[in-house]
Amino acid sequence: MIEVAFVGNPNVGKTALINAIAGSDLQVGNWPGVTVEKKEVTFTYEDETLHLVDLPGTYTLSPYTLEEKVTRSNLCAGGFDAIVNVVDTTDLRRNLYLTLELIDLQKPMVIALNMFDEFSKRGYRLDVEKLQEIFGIPCIPTIASKGIGTKTLLGRLYEVYKECQLPHLIPYQEHIEKEIAFLVHKMEGLECQIKRFLAIKLLENDSYAIQRMQELDPAIVDLAHKARERLQRHLRMDVKEFIVQDRYQKIDAILAQVLHKPLVDRVLLTDKIDTIALHRWFGIPLFFIVMFLMFKTTFDGSTPFVDWVGGFFDGFVAPHLRAAMADLPSWLVSLTVDGVVSGVGLVLSFLPLLAFLYFFMALLEESGYMARVSFLLDRVAGILGIKGNAFIALIVGFGCNVPAVYATRTLSSFRERLITALMISFMSCSARLPVYALFTALFFTRHQALIIFSLYLLGILVAFIVGFIANKALPTSQAKPFFMELPTYHMPSARAIWMLMWPKLKDFIVRAGTVIVMASVILWGIINLPPSATPQTSYLAQISKKITPIFKPVGFGEHWEPVAALIPGTLAKEVIIGSLGTIYGVEAAHKPMAKSSILEDLTKELHTLWVATERSAHNLLAIQITSLETEVAPSRIQQRIRQQFTPLSALSYLVFILLYIPCVSTMAAIKNEFGWRWMLFETALLPILAYTVAFVVYHFAALLL
């Protein structure tokens, strides 16, 4: 099997290129031990099996981020037989820097001159023949987005490997070369394939090279140190700086021979967009508009589908399962249908929402706007010890906390990810809204919008306080200064977006799904046991009756029913309303059994799916946020709530609901990303925090009202 590494700068269309080659066979996973995505594909070409691996984008082989480290370590581990260096032809000078470093690895190599169409469009011309002559390896113009050049690329890659065609060395300045030769000579007996590369990196004082050599032969580290001192004295400047300068001189010399610039560099579209997108006054409002549109579309587009999935499980899967299991003991039927299957239903009902949200996230990321958001908001984030890009995750949290937790993956350090994740659960997600709507409609009819808005603000406030404390409390790792490229905007392809979306969706179904189904079964247990319990005598009722007095100081400790509803509410906040109904006994838990045939009902479900699609499309065109219109709850629940709450205690109850736990799905995501310890920490912290804040709000509001 031929192991091939795809290496290139970030945002050069490297993933798109490997996509175009791999087609639908591309596999997405994680690099071992880190949450950096690994994309790979295996297929047969001619008589050989090719294994292509997409290494994370990097500017140089002196890494700055976690992702870049993955690339460097993998390249230097020596497991690759050949390299495909993908370069952005529109910025050759910078991209060739990495190329020169790769050449020092002395592996069979091919250069993909990507974005060649854009390059030509800007009026540049390149002498590809001459470039090939200089590097001694094939250089192939490609247009990844259209799949152009991929066949040639593969063919040349195969030849290069078969003939073991190595790139020509581009010699450094003579004194540097002398020291390299000296070090390489000293390494002669060592078991190491990248001697030249390590020698130059040792001269650069690169910590990875030094560490690696320390393991191989510590004496050489000393020799390298002396060599560096010799050079320093002779060159009268920092050796690293000299080497970087030398590389750029070589690049400029090469480009002088092969690149023909147009007389006038046209103002790029990106510059024009950024004069507005990053404008002093318009930048921030535009950002809010983009966010608003993203949420509007996500909610309005997905709500009909979310409802449909819910209906599909309640109205089709559950009744038919009950019919099919009619002869089995009723507890088993109930466990299967109300425990396991309803858990599966819950997982799947998240999918439409997540799919829409991930679509927009991918769109923003691929297009290049995401980097702009970081740029706009970095100042605010700096106060909390995080960087601008963390805000993306926080904003996603208003829609749903689950994808928000996964969105922290793009942040550069574990510390930043953790601070952000701790803040996310206070972003009031869409599932909390129906509960606010029900209670505020009853007790704050006149100021409904104001109260709901205040709850959102309270969540943000608590998030900032928690973030601020976390920043002070967590040990500071030597944070690297903020650095970010503002890449050229470009139109993302549908495939690229799908490739970003799909692994995340799959991950949610598999990993978060198992935890949700487990939680669903446990909850089923406490709601339905002991055997033949009614909603008033179940374990849930018994537990709630015991803990209810605890809530007296925060105003809703007089009746056990609202407290009981909080427990199923951990599954998803909107479940609170349904649970209140069941516990009050106003909604006799109806458990229909299917009477008609499966086929007949399936046709009906397919019809309603079509209706849902139509509604979704209709919603997207409407101007107002349709899905935020309040649902009308059965008036008998309203009566009971009125009896058991005062405006003050209702407010306190809502504050508690806002803060006490996001939901089991979010906790599952936190466990996934940060491990059991942080998940348990959150689970313990949040109720205490919610209680404290509810207490303060209850007593403070009492003074006002």
Nearest distance from C-beta of residue 105 to another protein, angstroms: 17
Nearest distance from C-beta of residue 126 to another protein, angstroms: 15
Which residues of this protein are in contact with another protein, per CB under 8 A? 59-60, 62, 64, 90-91, 93-94, 97, 240-241, 244-245, 248, 274, 278-281, 283-284, 374-380, 382, 388, 478, 480-487
CA 191 to chain centre: 40
Contact indicator for 322, 590 with CB cutoff of 8 Å: no
Q: Which is nearer to another protein, 93 or 636 (CB)?
A: 93
Kindly list the distances between the CA atom of residue 352 and the CA atoms of 348, 349, 465, 517, 691, in Å, as whole numbers in the listed order. Answer: 8, 7, 33, 18, 33
Nearest distance from C-beta of residue 268 to another protein, angstroms: 9
CA 569 to chain centre: 26
Around Cβ 25, how many Cβ atoms within 10 Å?
Answer: 10
**Single-letter amino acid code for the residue at 103:** I
Residue ranges of E strands in 387-466: none
Nearest distance from C-beta of residue 375 to another protein, angstroms: 5
Sign of CA dihedral 476, 480, 485, 486: positive
Q: Which is nearer to another protein, 121 or 279 (CB)?
A: 279
* Secondary structure class of 42 (helix, strand, coil): strand
C-alpha 345/C-alpha 572 separation (Å) is 12
Q: How does 531-568 read in b/e, with b if 16+ C-beta sit within 10 Å?
A: eebebeebebbeebeeebeebeebbbbebbbbbbbbbb
Contact indicator for 452, 415 with CB cutoff of 8 Å: no
C-alpha 562/C-alpha 328 separation (Å) is 34
Contact indicator for 178, 49 with CB cutoff of 8 Å: no
Nearest distance from C-beta of residue 62 to another protein, angstroms: 6
Would you tell me the crossing angle of helices 239-258 and 128-135 to the nearest 10 degrees? 140
Q: Which is nearer to another protein, 281 or 676 (CB)?
A: 281
Q: Which is nearer to another protein, 45 or 483 (CB)?
A: 483
Q: Which is nearer to another protein, 68 or 300 (CB)?
A: 68
Nearest distance from C-beta of residue 377 to another protein, angstroms: 8
Around Cβ 106, how many Cβ atoms within 10 Å?
Answer: 15
Nearest distance from C-beta of residue 482 to another protein, angstroms: 5
Q: Which is nearer to another protein, 253 or 684 (CB)?
A: 253
Contact indicator for 374, 287 with CB cutoff of 8 Å: no
C-alpha 543/C-alpha 536 separation (Å) is 11
Contact indicator for 558, 538 with CB cutoff of 8 Å: no
Contact indicator for 698, 648 with CB cutoff of 8 Å: yes
Q: Which is nearer to another protein, 118 or 601 (CB)?
A: 118
Q: Which is nearer to another protein, 279 or 604 (CB)?
A: 279
Residue ranges of E strands in 10-108: 27-30, 37-45, 48-54, 82-88
Nearest distance from C-beta of residue 101 to another protein, angstroms: 9
Nearest distance from C-beta of residue 284 to another protein, angstroms: 5
C-alpha 109/C-alpha 265 separation (Å) is 32
Q: Which is nearer to another protein, 133 or 252 (CB)?
A: 252
* Residues paired with 159 in a beta bridge: none
Q: Which is nearer to another protein, 62 or 334 (CB)?
A: 62
Contact indicator for 440, 452 with CB cutoff of 8 Å: yes
Tokens of 353: 């929402």
Nearest distance from C-beta of residue 283 to another protein, angstroms: 5
Nearest distance from C-beta of residue 240 to another protein, angstroms: 6
Q: Which is nearer to another protein, 56 or 283 (CB)?
A: 283
Cis-peptide, bond into residue 535, ω within 30° of zero: no
Nearest distance from C-beta of residue 485 to another protein, angstroms: 5
Q: Which is nearer to another protein, 2 or 278 (CB)?
A: 278
